[in-house]
Amino acid sequence: MIKFKDVLNESLSTKDNKVILAFINELPMIGKNLETDGKILNIAHSGDVAKFKGGKVYFYNLGGKSDELIVKKLKKLLPKNSIAKEIDINAIKISHEMTDGYADQFNYTIFAKLNKTLVGTAEIVLYNKELTISMIEILEDYRRLGIGSKIIKYLKTNNEFSGYKYKPSLKTDLGAKFKAKL
């Protein structure tokens, strides 16, 4: 069993070091800047850093120094066989295809592929200068790895959709969790 002295890092508060230990032991705890439900380790106001799924730990790169520090610490403390293969979010390729169009409405499907594997899709509608997301679906093993966020970034930066104002929807439970990230 990993002890608190093995987790201690001067860059983190005592409470946050204890949250890392709780996460490793799959227990819930709330710290100053970190929290875990025992399955997901989260940095307040930034997002998930790591999650347990199927006996493996998946890591996310949020781009900050604190998450790099936490991931490095977790990799050092966790058994090597419990660390999942990391997915390079830059390897996910996003594309789109118009599926229907009539009057002033255009429907599109957005595709997220990792190599040749389709890992996510989104259905969007452009109408009356508004962009509405009807559905985003990410394969379960690829959820919470940043793919939905990459689809949203694609919609915001693609010139074909630039003249449209995003109209919030995402009314399902999973959609509401994702909407909180937008």
Q: What is the pLDDT of residues 135-181, one digit of tens each?
A: 899 988 787 778 888 998 899 899 899 889 888 775 666 665 555 45
Look at 93 and 91; give whichever has higher pLDDT: 93
Q: Whole-angstrom Cα distance, residue 26 to residue 24?
A: 5
Query: Starting at the edge strand that comes first in sequence, how are the strands of the sheet with 34-37 ordered?
Result: 28-30, 34-37, 40-43, 47-53, 56-59
The confidence score (pLDDT) of residue 61 equals 60
* Position 95 pLDDT exceeds 90: yes
pTM equals 0.59
| Average pLDDT score, the chain | 82
pLDDT tens digit sequence for 110-141: 999 988 889 999 999 999 999 999 889 998 87
pLDDT tens digit sequence for 40-60: 898 876 678 888 887 888 887
Q: Whole-angstrom Cα distance, residue 129 to residue 121?
A: 22
- The kind and range of the H/E element at 17 are helix 14-24
- Name the band, by pLDDT with cuts 50, 70 and 90, for residue 4: very low
pLDDT tens digit sequence for 12-24: 788 888 998 999 9
Question: Which residue ranges form the domains of the chain, and what is each CATH number?
Answer: 4-82 (no CATH), 89-179 (3.40.630.30)
Q: What b/e string do you get for 3-24 counting C-beta neighbours within 10 Å, with b at 16 or more?
A: eeeebeeeebeeebbbbbbbbb
- The kind and range of the H/E element at 99 are strand 92-102
